[in-house]
Amino acid sequence: MVNTAVMGATGLVGETMIQVLQDRSFPADRFIPFASKRSKGRSVVFRGRKYPVEIITPESLSKGMIIFGATSADIARNWVPMCIQAEAVVIDNSSAYRMDPGVPLIVPEVNGHLVQREQRLWANPNCSTIQLVMALRPIMELAGILWVAVSTYQAVSGAGTPALKELRRQQKGQAPSGGHPEFHGNVVTGIGETSAEGFCNEEIKLMSETGKILETDFPIYASAARVPVKTGHTESVTVKLDRRVDIQLVRQALQDAPGVTLSNSGASPLNVAGSDAVVVDRVRTSPMDPSALQFWVLADNLRKGAALNAVQIAETYLKTI
């Protein structure tokens, strides 16, 4: 049994982390929900008991405590060093440390061997990255990948609770407010700030994180959009291989991959919401190029795309001690 905490416990991802910890019977001996001063006076329920939200301080930390981070990158850069100094173990969902060479970026089904007992900090990848690498890893066992093109259709919940509330407002016919884009009945072709080269933050994360996790340098051609869906990210993927591979071998490899569910029935975000699986749908060979594969990848962005993956990292760590 271990002392366990969630930093950002009152946010959408933090709430999902608490739910997943309960769903998977995580061996938490003591539980602490941490959040900002804005959540002062609130409480969260864990295993039927109410816990008052606390402000994280050095005194609230202990050696070996496992802390799940569900905050922004700017906030994570403030609290994570404090936890490492206290010899706690941190699994951070923000982008703050993902590309740090000294911090493993983990999807347990793909590179869980990098979770070692001596490490004190692991980064949780971006939601769209997690489902992409889950689909690519089995294919890499069959042939070399020359390049990948991916277009993402990302749910509004990826932007947090305020964005979801805004979507509900707009669905009731109210105009966009508070600087939010028009989600309802729309496709927002870009997520986050746009670089001078024209790439948005989500595209940059997807390209850089995929290479780090898979330890490869093949090009990733990414385009990211926000769609008026509550939960569940969808990706359209084309993979160029260095040779032709029988499509039945590809389907079998995906079917056998841990955490992956193979579909051929036209999966949708409604199908994956609340599920822990990464669904790979309609795998096919391009009629224009027999060495190119096309398929869809879908996952619940709050569960496997964030909370579940973080808890799986902690479970993998506990097996090492």
Q: Give the catalytic positions in this structure.
A: 127, 233
Q: Based on the number of CB atoms within 10 Å of its own CB, is 82 exposed (0-12), middle (13-18) or buried (19 or more)? A: middle
Cα–Cα dist 300/291, whole Å: 30
Contact 64, 87 (CB under 8 A): yes
- Please count the residues of the chain: 321
SS3 content of the chain, % helix, strand, coil (to 5): 35, 25, 40
Instruction: Tell me the HSE value of 233 on the side-chain side, using a 13 A CA sphere.
Output: 31
Six token digits for residue 183: 């989600």
Show contacts of 30-34: CB within 8 Å, 24+ apart: 30/3, 30/4, 31/4, 31/5, 32/3, 32/4, 32/5, 32/6, 32/60, 33/5, 33/6, 33/9, 34/5, 34/6, 34/7, 34/8, 34/9, 34/60, 34/67, 34/79
Six token digits for residue 207: 């390209």
Show contacts of 204-208: CB within 8 Å, 24+ apart: 205/95, 205/98, 205/126, 205/128, 205/129, 206/126, 206/128, 206/129, 206/132, 206/150, 206/152, 208/99
